């Protein structure tokens, strides 16, 4: 397992040799010590990315395409090994980790497709005395700060388009899941990515983030994480006018109309809600179900949820792994206590589950009936395996309910009426809508939010746009 950082093609420790421990998410066992980098290391990473920039940006697009394809292929070959590292430090079940590796490889394939499509565009002018064109240029050195819930995919989403356009990059993964990032760094060396094109360091978030944002050579930051940290980074980005993509918290509504296929809605709710134990920003957070099918939906979802096996992600058949830390468990408990005090009832779950030889971080999949918008779980992102279900009547109420939040990442709607589905798609104030499905992520599509969920898109050609600075050239035509 790689535990050192990658700067300028070299494996490094922190300059002052400090380290911090990485723990197994289920057992708490120390898996490794990784460098606890600070300001000087963060600056070294920018130096390396700056030195590599001219060489990388001047490569022909097909060369960059080939490198992106080989990263995708190598990730697929090494799926099992990456999945084991993800499961160890994040805790999610092994098959979900394997799915994450595939999904990450897709980002590199998608960026490879786009790398060769991106090119100079000729613009039609009404004036005959000029010719116009727009040249896509890489923004320059870019930074990525990533969260722990998808330790590989969140890097893939940012690295793939950056490389496709010709940017060089500095990356800081989350403190709880740096080993996946360092294994990815090792893969980049194996496929002969030129030194300095991607630099990955682990350590103090504030010191690294503020060094990157204040340096002036870093021209963009792509961040995925909490809205609170996103706001802080946005303020810090102002001085050097650093371009941003922010993928922040979500609070997704999951709307089920009485005319829906209720069993399909239950199945979609189950897969959407309980992935990564409910710790994804697109997990349905507010279930809003029309009165005539409310009881059927609640009973069906509770019955399936109660059968999901809770345990260590390495064990066969486990669907719900540990939550990431004690804070996460506390948040889940306090949302349930608040909901019950305000009239919700626990249909299944509602308590921790003891797993032999493991930490007290496991929580039973929980269904709360009679949820209302006064409850915390309808106001704040849960990031845990809790599904509160509220009632509504009629489309107007559904829309109003779904949009009653400043967040706007994902939303879901179930109905058999296609016209209604289209009306809902148009009315829902969010960046991503799933219709009659609970799983929406796809590396070829523009993933991203609105409002407090942030801005910028990741995936497909939209992902490349975030790393592109268009140069418009206006030339006189002399005849």
**Catalytic amino acids?**
247, 281
Which residue lies nearer to ligand ADP by CB, 166 or 284? 284
DSSP state of 431: S
Sign, Cα dihedral of 441, 442, 443, 445: negative
> Between residues 146 and 370, which has the closer beta carbon with respect to ligand ADP?
146
Give the residue, chosen from 121, 129, 206, 315, that forms a contact with ligand ADP under the rule CB under 6 A.
206
234 versus 298: smaller Cβ distance to ligand ADP: 234
| 50 is a site residue for ligand ADP (CB under 6 A) | no
- The CA distance from 387 to 365, in Å, is 8
For the beta sheet containing 121-123, the strands, ordered from the edge strand earlier in sequence to the opposite edge, are: 121-123, 130-138, 468-476
- Quick note: the x/- pattern for ligand ADP over 221-260, rule CB under 6 A, is ----xx--x--xx---------------------------
Report which of 166, 177, 148 is spatially closest to residue 220, judged by C-alpha positions.
Answer: 166
Sign of the Cα pseudo-torsion (476, 119, 145, 448, in order): positive
User: Which one of 169-177, 285-293, 418-426, 464-472 is the stretch in contact with ligand ADP (CB under 6 A)?
Assistant: 169-177
CB of 69 to ligand ADP, least distance (A): 28
Give CA–CA dist 467/218, Å, rounded.
12
Q: Which is nearer to ligand ADP, 145 or 293 (CB)?
A: 145
CA separation for the pair 105, 264 (Å, rounded): 29
Choices 3-11, 161-169, 204-212, 448-456 (CB under 6 A): range interacting with ligand ADP: 204-212
Among positive and negative, which fits the CA dihedral 32, 33, 37, 42? negative
Task: Locate 355 and state its tokens.
Answer: 């797993």
Question: Least distance to ligand ADP from the beta carbon of 349, Å?
Answer: 22
Least spacing, CB of residue 357 vs ligand ADP, in Å:
25
In the complex, least distance from residue 226 CB atom to ligand ADP, rounded to whole angstroms: 3
DSSP H helical ranges for 215-259: 227-237
Please give the Cα distance from 46 to 58 (Å, whole number): 19
Choosing from 81, 113, 137, 175, the residue that interacts with ligand ADP (CB under 6 A) is 175
Q: Are strands 168-172 and 198-200 parallel, antiparallel or unpaired?
A: parallel
Smallest distance, ligand ADP to C-beta of residue 476, A: 47
174 binds ligand ADP (CB under 6 A): yes
Nearer Cβ to ligand ADP (56/383): 383
326 binds ligand ADP (CB under 6 A): no
363 CB-side CA count, 13 A = 30
Q: Which two tokens stand for residue 325?
A: 């830390």
Q: How many Cα atoms sit within 13 Å of 256 on the Cβ side? A: 29
Query: Which range binds ligand ADP by CB under 6 A, 49-57, 202-210, 402-410, 450-458?
Result: 202-210
Nearest to 290 by CA among 258, 252, 253, 254: 258
Per CB under 6 A, does 209 bind ligand ADP?
Answer: yes
Of residues 206 and 239, the one with the C-beta less far from ligand ADP: 206
Q: How many angstroms separate the CA atoms of 271 and 67, rounded?
A: 34
* Binding to ligand ADP, residues 137-166 (CB under 6 A): 145-147
The site for ligand ADP (CB under 6 A) is made up of 145-147, 172, 174-175, 205-206, 209, 225-226, 229, 232-233
């Amino acid at each position: 397992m790689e535990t050192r950082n990658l700067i300028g093609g070299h494996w490094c420790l922190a300059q002052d040799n400090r380290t911090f421990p990485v723990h197994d998410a289920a057992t708490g066992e120390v898996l490794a010590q990784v460098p606890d980098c600070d300001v000087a290391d963060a600056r070294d990473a920018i130096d390396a990315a700056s030195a590599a920039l001219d060489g990388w940006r001047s490569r022909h697009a097909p060369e960059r395409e080939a490198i992106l394809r080989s990263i995708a292929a190598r990730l697929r070959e090494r799926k099992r090994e990456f999945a084991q590292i993800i499961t160890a430090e994040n805790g999610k079940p092994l098959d979900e980790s394997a799915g994450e590796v595939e999904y990450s490889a897709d980002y590199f394939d998608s960026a490879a497709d786009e790398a060769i499509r991106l090119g100079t565009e000729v613009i039609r002018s009404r004036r005959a005395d000029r010719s116009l064109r727009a040249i896509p240029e890489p923004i320059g050195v870019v930074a990525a700060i990533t969260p722990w819930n998808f330790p590989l995919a969140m890097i893939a989403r940012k690295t793939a388009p950056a490389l496709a356009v010709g940017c060089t990059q500095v990356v800081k993964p989350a403190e709880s899941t740096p080993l996946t990032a360092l294994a990815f760094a090792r893969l980049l060396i194996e496929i002969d990515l030129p030194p300095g094109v991607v630099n990955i360091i682990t350590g103090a978030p504030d010191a690294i983030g503020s060094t990157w944002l204040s340096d002036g050579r870093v021209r963009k930051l792509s961040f995925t994480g909490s809205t609170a940290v996103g706001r802080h980074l946005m303020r810090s980005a102002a001085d050097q006018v650093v371009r941003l993509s922010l993928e922040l918290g979500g609070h997704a509504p999951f709307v089920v109309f009485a005319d829906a296929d209720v069993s399909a809605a239950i199945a979609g709710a189950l897969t959407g809600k309980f992935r990564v134990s409910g710790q994804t920003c697109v997990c349905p957070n507010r279930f809003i179900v029309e009165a005539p099918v409310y009881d059927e939906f609640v009973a069906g979802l509770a019955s399936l949820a109660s059968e999901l096996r809770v345990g260590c992600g390495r064990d066969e058949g486990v669907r719900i792994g540990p939550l990431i830390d004690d804070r996460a468990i506390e948040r889940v408990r306090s949302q349930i206590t608040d909901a019950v005090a305000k009239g919700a009832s626990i249909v299944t779950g509602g308590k921790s589950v003891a797993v032999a030889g493991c930490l007290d971080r496991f929580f039973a999949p929980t269904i709360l009936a009679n949820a209302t918008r006064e409850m915390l779980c309808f106001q704040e992102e849960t990031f845990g395996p809790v599904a509160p279900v509220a009632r509504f009547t009629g489309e107007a109420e559904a829309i109003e309910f779904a949009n009653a939040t400043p967040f706007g990442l994902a939303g879901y709607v179930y109905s058999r009426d296609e016209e209604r589905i289209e009306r809902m798609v148009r009315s829902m104030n969010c960046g991503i809508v799933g219709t009659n499905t609970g799983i929406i992520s796809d590396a070829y599509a523009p993933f991203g939010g609105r409002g407090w969920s942030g801005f910028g898109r990741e995936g497909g050609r939209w992902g490349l746009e975030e790393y592109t600075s268009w140069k418009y050239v206006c030339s006189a035509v002399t005849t």
